[in-house]
Amino acid sequence: MTESESLPAASASGEVVRRESQNALDGLRDFQDLILTRLGDLGLPTEDVLVALNHRLALLATTGHALAGLNDEQRGRSVYIAKMIMAGSVGLFDAALNYLWDETVIELRKRVIGYDLSYFYAVAEKSDARRKELKTADDLVKLDDAKLLSGAREIGLISDVGYHQVDHIRFMRNYASAAHPNQVSLTGLQLADWLETCIREVITLPHDTVVAEIRKLLVNVQAARLDPNYLAQTAVFFKGLPGDQADTLAKGLFGVYTTSGGEPHTLDNIRDLWPKLWPYASEDARFEAGTRLARFLANADQAQAVLARQLIDLVQGGSYLPDEIKVAEMSEAIEDLLNVHLARDNFYNEPRVARRLAELVGQHGAVPESLVREYVKTLITVFLTNGHGEAFAANESYLDLISRFDPEQASLALRAFADAEISSQLQRQLSQKKWDELLNIIDVKITGRPERELLQAVRDFPGTPDKLRLDSGIKRHLAALPS
C-alpha cells in the first residue's frame, strides 16, 4: 500500500477517536447537568462542587497508561483504585485522592505483613511504650501513615526516591483531599501521575537483593537454632551491608531481642549474630542502643532493661551507655515533640512539649553526645513545619534552641537537607521559606572552611532545596566535611 492509499484509513481512525472522545465528554456533561440540577432543586450548593470536565477527561484518558504496571491479579483486587477512577470521573477529585491513598496504605501494609512484622515494628515505632501494643497484623492500623511510610523506607520496602514521592502524595492527601477539605486545585494529569507513582513505588516495587536477604535472615532467626556454617555466611553478608541497612538491622534485632516473650532459640540466634553485626553499626546506632537501655530503666521496664544490657555487655559497649538518666528524659522529650508534630492538633500541642525540651537543654547545658544527631534532626523537622502552617507559639522555643547551637550542631543542621525525610519536607513552599530562615540563623555558627564552602554552595544553588541532596556539586561538598 502506498503512502497516499494509507491516508484515508488513518483519517478515518482519527475521526473515530475524536468521536469517541466527544461522546465521552457529552456523557460526562449530561451526567453533571443532571446531578447539579438535582442539587439545586434540593437547595444545595452547585458551584465549585465538581472539577472541570476537561480535567476529568484527562484523568480517564491517562489512567490506562498509569495502570500498565499492574497485572490482571493486581487489578482485580484494586478496589480503591476503581473507586478513585469512579470518583474522578464524576468530578470529585478530592475523594479520588483519598481513595488512591487508601489503596496505597493497604498495599504497603500487605508488603509489611509479607516481610516481618516484629522487625518492622521494632524499626518503625520509636516509642518503647507504644511498641508493646504492636504485635499482630491487626495492630498496623495503630501506626499513623507517616510512621508506616518512614518505617517501610528504613527497612527497604520502598526506596528513598519512592519515599520522597509518596510522602508528597501523603501530604497532598492530608491537605487537598476529602479527608481534610481545602481549597486546593487538583488536575486530572496530577491524579494519574500520582496513581502511576503509587503503583511503581509501592504496589509493584520488587525487593532488592539486600532487602530479600535480610528477610530470609529474619525468617531463619525466628524459625530454629542457626548452625555454625550459616552464622559464618551471615558474618560475610554483614560485611557487605550498606551503612543504613546495617543500622536498621541492628535497631530491628535489638527491638526483637528486647521484646518480652521471645522464643529461646530466637534470643540465642540474636546473641550469636549481634557481635558479628556490631562492627558495622554506626556510632549513632550504638548510642541509640545505650539510650534505649536508659529509657527502659527510667520507665521501670526491668525485664527489657536486663535484655538490653545483655546485648550491650556482649559487645563490651559500655562506652555507649549514657552517663546520666537525663539522657532518657531528653530522648523522651525529643520523641514526644516529633510525635505531636506529626499528629493532629499539632499547633496546640507542640508549644508545651517544645518548652519542656527547652527547659531540659537549659538546665543541663550541652546536649549529650548520644542525642545530638536526633536532637538536631528533630528540631529542624519541627522548625520547618508540616508545610501547612506554622505553630507560632512553639516557634519561639525553636528559635531559642537553634540559637544555642554550637558549631557542631550548626554543621549538622546545615547538612540536614541530605536526610531523606527532611528533603521531602523541603518540597513545600512554607518549609522552603523556613529553611532560608534557618540558614540565616546558623550562618554565624558555621566556622570550619569546608562547612563555610558548603553553606555558600547551598545559598548559590539555583534549584529548590529539596533537590540539594541530588546535586553532584553539593555531594562533593558534603563528602569533604569531617564525619
For the chain, give every domain's residue range: 12-48, 50-203, 209-320, 327-479
pLDDT for position 12: 52
Over residues 183-197, the mean pLDDT reads 86
pLDDT at residue 21 is higher than 80:
no
3 — pLDDT class (breaks 50, 70, 90): very low
Lowest mean pLDDT among 102-111, 227-236, 326-335: 326-335
Cα 386 from Cα 342, distance rounded (Å): 8
Over residues 149-169, the mean pLDDT reads 93
6 — pLDDT class (breaks 50, 70, 90): very low
Lowest mean pLDDT among 9-23, 171-185, 293-307: 9-23
Over residues 45-54, the mean pLDDT reads 82
* Bigger pLDDT: 429 vs 368: 429
pTM of the model: 0.77
Backbone angles phi, psi at 368, to 5 degrees: -55, 145
pLDDT for position 239: 93
Instruction: Round the CA-based radius of gyration of the chain to a whole number and report it.
Output: 26
Helix, strand, coil percent values for the chain (each to nearest 5): 75, 0, 25
Classify residue 387 by its DSSP letter.
Answer: S
pLDDT for position 11: 53
Over residues 8-19, the mean pLDDT reads 53
pLDDT for position 20: 62
Phi-psi bin for 401: left (phi > 0), alpha (psi -120 to 50), beta? alpha
254 — pLDDT class (breaks 50, 70, 90): very high
Cα 216 from Cα 114, distance rounded (Å): 12
Q: Which three cell numbers stand for residue 334?
A: 525529643
pLDDT at residue 5 is higher than 50:
no
pLDDT at residue 321 is higher than 90:
no
Cα 296 from Cα 301, distance rounded (Å): 5
